[in-house]
Structure formats: structure tokens, C-alpha cells
């Protein structure tokens, strides 16, 4: 494992506390601070412009649309909503409301539909609004980030002690299975991210309740693997590299850790922020961008 003590290659100053996203062409970085959005040049860190949104508090999710022209921002809990902005001007183009307990969203591969999830999974069309709920239940689902299966046909979500598969085409429940755990209480709150590894069998979950580990399950059998240890605080976010070879995690301890997707070994780590590290994304396959409580976004080479 490489412990990297070098300074970051690029710093995106002053507006990087909650969430971060990078454009597909790797030229633009967006960070958020409270209800403010900042747009930067990815290569130099120069601030292009910033704008305030209509959110009353922190933006906890941001995504640059593949068209490079639109930006999606969201926050969960009170007044949960996804807003669509023009990336260059900051003008709000549209927004859609979601159930109050929604924590996150992601864009489906057609770049047209958005899935929002937590207590209820809803599918939306960016142009036409709500297409319908995929899953509703009395008790909250536990996963902030529903996962898309590599076959493009299934959406996977985990709820406490089960993993459920839904059809992308019509939202129907395809299958569900129980997951094994010797401490079910640890699984009550997986609300800090999840990702499906390229083998399409293993899923990694950032567990809640202040537990500084990553849980790994076989989504075909429900088998639990040994948890991934190393962080000294609650894991806040996960990200998968574009080629799928590695994934990254950030935590309350301020560290960013990069893991091998096959061996599940930590291959690189650095102290990224003073205080909590809140979000992480890959910028290509050999760099990550982190944001944290000290207020800056930082780009790190992880080779």
C-alpha cells in the first residue's frame, strides 16, 4: 500500500465542503458548499463562476450531465428535491420533488431517466417528470445509492436484511434475497454510499452508525465477506474508477483510501482534509478529487 504525503496536484479553493463531480471530458469540476455551487477548470483549479441555488441548506449530491451543459443538484430529508441547472449560467431549468426521505439520485445509462432512492425508489424523466415508484415500503430502505447492474437491465438496492433487484424497463421486482450478518444492527443504516464491483457479484456498502468499515456482500447469494478496515471514522462516500479496476472511499478521519477491485486490498491512501472528508470522485483512472470540512476540493494523483 502506498501512503501518499505529497501535496495535491490541483486545489479547488474555498467552496468544496459537501459534494463533488467531474465532467466526462475531465475539463470541469463542480463542488458545493451549503447551497452554493462552484464551477472550476479541472486542470488549473481556476474558479470559472459560482451561483446560489434555492436549497435552504447543504447540497449533498451533484452530477454533471453527459451532455456537458446541464448540472443536477440534490439534497435529502427536508424539502428533498433535484434541481436541473444550466452549467455555464447557473440558471435553474427545472426541478422535481421527491419524497422527504430521499437521500440520493443517479442518472440511468440513457442519460434521460433519473432514479431517486431511500424510503422509496422513484424513476423520473428529465423532460417529462415522474414515471412512477419502483419500490415503496413502511420502513426506510437503507441504501443511499441504488446500483445499476452491468447488464443495464436491473437496479439493485439493499434494505436492512435483503437485496432487491428491479427491472430498469418497467420497475417491476425481479428477485430478492436475504443477506447474512452476525450483527444485523450494523445494517440498519447503509446511507453513505454503495457500489457494485465489475465482477457484478460483489457490492461494497458504507455502513452507518459511525462504524469505520466497508461491508462487502455477494449479491447473488447474500454471503458476507470480511469487512474492509483501515478508516478511523465513519465512511462518508464511495467512488468507482471509470475502468472499474479501483474504488475510493473517504471518511470522517479525513483520509482518502483507494482499493483494488479484485483483491479488495488498500493500494493507496492520503490525509486529504483536516476534519471530515465528505465526498470523492475519480478524475480519469489515475486521480481522485476529494472535498471536506476544511473547505477545499483537492485533486490527488493515485499512481
Q: 268-278 pLDDT, tens per residue?
A: 999 999 999 99
* C-alpha span between 55 and 262 (Å, rounded): 39
Please name which of 160, 167, 146 lies closest in space to residue 188, comparing C-alpha atoms.
160
Computed over every residue of the chain, the mean pLDDT equals 83
Name the most confidently modeled range: 181-185, 198-202, 286-290.
286-290
* C-alpha span between 292 and 239 (Å, rounded): 15
Q: Is the pLDDT of residue 121 over 80?
A: no
Higher pLDDT among residues 268 and 195, named by residue: 268
Please name which of 231, 214, 233 lies closest in space to residue 270, comparing C-alpha atoms.
231
* C-alpha span between 207 and 100 (Å, rounded): 21
Per-residue pLDDT band for 57 (boundaries 50, 70, 90) equals: confident
Residues in the chain: 303
Element (H, E) at 96: strand 92-97
Contact criterion met (CB below 8 Å) for 43 and 30: no
Question: Which of 87-91, 102-106, 163-167 is predicted with the least confidence, judged by mean pLDDT?
Answer: 102-106
pLDDT for 191: 55
pLDDT for 5: 63
Taking the CB of residue 143, how many other CB atoms lie within 10 A of it? 28
Q: Is the pLDDT of residue 113 over 90?
A: no
3-class DSSP state of 157: strand
Taking the CB of residue 148, how many other CB atoms lie within 10 A of it? 18
Kindly state the percentage of the chain with pLDDT values over 70: 82
In this prediction, residues 128-134 reach a mean pLDDT of 77
* C-alpha span between 62 and 51 (Å, rounded): 14
Q: Which residue has the cell 446541464?
A: 70
pLDDT for 142: 46
Name the most confidently modeled range: 186-190, 208-212, 231-235.
231-235
* C-alpha span between 140 and 270 (Å, rounded): 34
Contact criterion met (CB below 8 Å) for 141 and 119: yes
Amino acid at each position: 500500500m502506498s501512503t501518499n504525503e505529497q501535496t495535491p496536484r490541483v486545489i479547488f479553493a474555498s467552496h468544496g465542503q459537501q459534494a463533488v463531480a467531474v465532467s466526462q471530458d475531465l475539463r470541469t469540476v463542480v463542488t458545493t458548499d451549503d447551497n452554493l455551487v462552484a464551477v472550476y477548470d479541472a486542470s488549473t483549479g481556476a474558479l470559472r463562476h459560482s451561483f446560489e441555488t434555492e436549497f435552504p441548506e447543504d447540497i449533498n449530491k451533484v452530477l454533471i450531465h453527459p451532455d456537458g451543459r446541464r448540472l443536477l443538484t440534490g439534497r435529502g430529508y427536508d424539502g428533498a428535491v433535484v434541481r436541473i441547472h444550466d452549467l455555464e449560467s447557473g440558471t435553474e431549468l427545472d426541478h422535481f420533488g421527491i419524497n422527504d426521505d430521499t437521500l440520493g439520485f443517479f442518472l440511468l445509462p440513457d442519460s434521460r431517466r433519473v432514479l431517486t432512492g431511500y424510503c422509496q425508489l422513484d424513476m423520473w424523466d428529465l423532460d417529462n417528470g415522474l414515471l412512477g415508484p419502483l419500490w415503496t415500503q413502511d420502513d426506510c430502505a437503507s441504501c443511499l445509492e441504488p446500483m445499476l447492474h452491468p447488464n443495464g437491465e436491473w437496479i439493485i438496492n439493499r434494505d436492512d436484511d435483503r437485496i432487491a433487484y428491479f427491472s430498469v424497463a418497467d420497475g417491476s421486482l425481479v428477485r430478492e434475497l436475504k443477506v447474512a450478518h452476525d450483527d444485523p444492527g450494523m445494517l440498519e443504516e447503509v446511507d453513505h454510499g454503495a457500489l457494485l464491483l465489475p465482477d457484478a457479484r460483489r457490492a461494497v456498502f458504507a455502513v452507518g452508525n459511525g462504524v469505520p468499515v466497508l461491508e462487502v456482500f455477494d449479491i447473488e447469494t447474500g454471503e458476507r465477506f470480511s469487512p474492509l478496515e483501515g478508516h478511523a471514522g465513519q465512511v462518508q462516500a464511495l467512488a468507482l474508477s471509470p475502468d472499474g479496476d479501483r474504488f475510493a472511499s473517504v471518511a470522517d478521519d479525513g483520509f482518502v483510501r483507494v482499493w483494488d477491485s479484485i483483491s479488495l486490498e488498500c493500494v493507496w491512501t492520503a490525509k486529504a482534509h483536516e476534519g471530515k472528508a465528505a465526498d470523492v470522485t475519480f478524475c480519469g483512472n489515475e486521480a481522485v478529487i476529494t472535498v471536506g470540512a476544511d473547505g477545499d476540493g483537492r485533486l490527488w494523483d493515485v499512481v
